[in-house]
Amino acid sequence: MRELMLETPRGRLGVLRHGPSDGLRVLAVHGWLDNAASFVPILSHLPGCDVAAIDLPGHGLSDHRPSGAEYTLAGWVEDVLAALDALGWQHACLLGHSLGGAICSMTAAAAPERVRRLALIEALGVLSGAPETALARLREGIAGRRALAGKQLRVFRDLAAAVRTRMAANALTEPVARLLVERGVAGVEGGYVWRSDPRLTLASPQRAEEATVRAWLAGIECPTLLIAAAQSQPYFTPELRDARLASVPDIAVSVLPGGHHLHMETPEPVAEQLQAFLCTPAVPERAGNGAGQPASA
């Protein structure tokens, strides 16, 4: 495991890198309020892969957005492309979990020439919004931004308290929560605070409609694998998942036992799927699973 800092035009990005320098290039992007340590449990199970797991801006050891700047979908995509540029990778495979999977989906659609293969865990496209909720979302988003300046950061007296909070928030075991917490907190007088940018907790004032999200997904040109947890999330139901699968030209899906952080809690079966998918020799047309057909269940 090698700790790096990437200098990009969009700010510094923290990176955990693992694997041979001549291995298959994989850029890994974590979920919302997680960090690069999200991929630590799985790295040793991906032999032959040169994995660069980044901290998204506002997370882990990476820079926060400048004052007055926003965390937006287009910005996240630019961050991924900037990371590829800083690594000197003209193209690579993308691996994303949750928010990271949504970002990687959109990156593959926006810049298909940069993405060889796309592996997603618990995400396919971004969260969408219905027109009937648009006004309430706008008001909530603007009000939250105006109220943020008056909020105080929570101070945890010790690491154990922060770990217990993560365990409760995401139904994580102690070792998994500790990985995220140790990279995700900073020491202050009296204890520890989250390193993550408080602006990340704000509700988005607008979201694309579902039809738009599916149109974006239709632009993914590379072979794609979606790994979904059997314990589905309210915002990524099997019904929504299946509807979006139909939009992606070349995708297989594998539903595995576990919850939202299954790549951390049960890394071996997730890594087995990833290894088989990422290391399959490129062919003009993929054999086996067609669009939306399960790789395993």
* Sheet of 251-256, strands arranged across: 2-8, 11-18, 49-54, 24-29, 92-97, 115-121, 224-229, 251-256, 293-296
Q: What is 129-176 written as a DSSP string?
A: --GGGHHHHHHHHHHHHHHGGGPPPP-BSSHHHHHHHHHHHHT--HHH
Amino acid (1-letter code) at residue 260: H
Question: Sign of torsion, CA 137 105 227 30?
Answer: negative
Q: Which of 38, 62, 98, 254 is catalytic?
A: 98
Active site residue 98: yes
CA atoms within 13 A on the CB side of 161: 10
CA gap 69, 156 in Å, rounded = 28
Residues 86, 13 contacting (CB under 8 angstroms): yes
CA gap 63, 58 in Å, rounded = 6
Core vs surface per residue 143-155: b (16+ CB within 10 A) or e: ebeeeeeeeeeee
Relative orientation angle of helices 238-245 and 210-217, to the nearest 10 degrees: 50
CA gap 175, 99 in Å, rounded = 22
Residues recognised as catalytic:
98
